[in-house]
Structure 1
Amino acid sequence: MTKIERIQTGVRMEKRLLKVLKGLAEYLDLSLGELLEGMTLHAFEGKAPFSRETLKKIDHLKAVYDLQLSAVECHALVEESHK
């Protein structure tokens, strides 16, 4: 096992996306941080982080939380102004 040091971070994220990630972490029996670490490390190596079965679960969670965003939109998201 590789020893690491984790730090607490405050990250703002689209609400429905976060719900899907939390649901997926629960499904995989991981913490949200562990899920994000794994996804990031896979992405840094150009590898897909999820099996076909997990991708099906993600599609289900996206439907449950009405998440219709895609990677195409990731750099064009605009946050609603709060009143």
Structure 2
Amino acid sequence: MIERVQTGVRLERRLLKVLKGLAELKDMSLGDLLEGIVLHAFEGKAPFDADTLKAVDDLKRVYGLDLTAADSHKLKENTHDR
């Protein structure tokens, strides 16, 4: 048994849209998808198979997400839009 808690995590808008789209495609909640991604990452395992990665690429194109892992520690937030 586990205990889940509500959290107020801020994410880049397009990234969130891709994640929500993928969760919908997989018929799972966003929280379940994120838990799976993180648990795989903690073990150094890839969370997605080739078909899922294709779906991610498609969703990235739809939502204009051009960020990569190389961008992850260099993101600057526009604080004027809050």
TM-score bracket, normalised by the shorter chain, equals: over 0.9
Equivalent residues in 2 for 1:27-46, closer than 5 Å: 27-46=25-44
Please give the per-residue CA displacement for 1:33-71, whole angstroms capped at 9, x wherever unaligned. 000000000000000000100000000000000000000
* CA apart distance, 1:28: 0.5
Give the superposition deviation at 1:9: 0.2
RMSD of equivalent CA atoms = 0.8
TM-score by length of 2: 0.96
Return the match for 2:61 from 57, 60, 63: 63
Q: TM-score, normalised by structure 1?
A: 0.95
| 3-state secondary structure, aligned to 2:40 | helix
Other structure's SS at 2:79 match:
coil
Tell me the distance in 1 between the aligned counterparts of 2:80 and 2:27: 34
Structure 2: which amino acid aligns with 1:44? F
> If each structure's helix is expressed as a fraction of its own residues, which one has the higher value?
2
What is the match of residue 72 of structure 2? Answer: 74
What is the count of residue pairs matched by the alignment? 81
Q: Is 2:13 the partner of 1:18?
A: no
Structure 1 unpaired stretches of 5+: none
The unaligned stretches of length 5 or more in structure 2 are none
Question: Hey, what's the Cα distance between the residues in 2 that align with 1:81 and 1:6?
Answer: 30
| Offset of residue 81 of structure 1 | 2.3
Displacement of 1:74: 0.3
